[in-house]
Amino acid sequence: CYPSMPDFLREVRRVLKPEGRLAFCDLRSAKGWEQTRRQFLDAGFSILEEECINEQVLRALDQVAQQRAERIDSKVPRLWRRMFRDFVGMQGGALHAMLKDGRLRYMRLLACR
């Protein structure tokens, strides 16, 4: 959701105090994360921590799945329910499958100016 990730990172770096830190989480493909990591380095950040949190995200998605299914079933027309379930990462959908097999990575990154 960033029109320009390099511009975003330059602006964050500009407003951070020296030694200031940026905590960043996002969902991207493996190749997308390689590019994002390079963009952090190119913007002058040091990467202090980097972790794939797919397992934790999947566990959280599975814990709220029943409540989400009930809400979708009660509020969303039948025609759209499958799309909504996929969008919120429920089991059986593409998003859940891609997180599980690693095609998508939900990464946590801590960077320092």
What does the pLDDT look like over 44-76, one tens digit per residue?
999 999 999 999 999 999 999 999 999 999 999
DSSP sequence for the chain: --S-HHHHHHHHHHHSPTT-EEEEEEEEEHHHHHHHHHHHHHTT-EEEEEEE-HHHHHHHHHHTHHHHHHHHHHHS-HHHHHHHHHHTT-TTSHHHHHHHHTSEEEEEEEEE-
Give pLDDT, residue 89.
95
- Spell out the per-residue pLDDT of the chain, length 113, in tens: 789 999 999 999 999 999 999 999 999 998 999 999 999 999 999 999 999 999 999 999 999 999 999 999 999 999 999 999 999 999 999 999 999 999 999 999 999 99
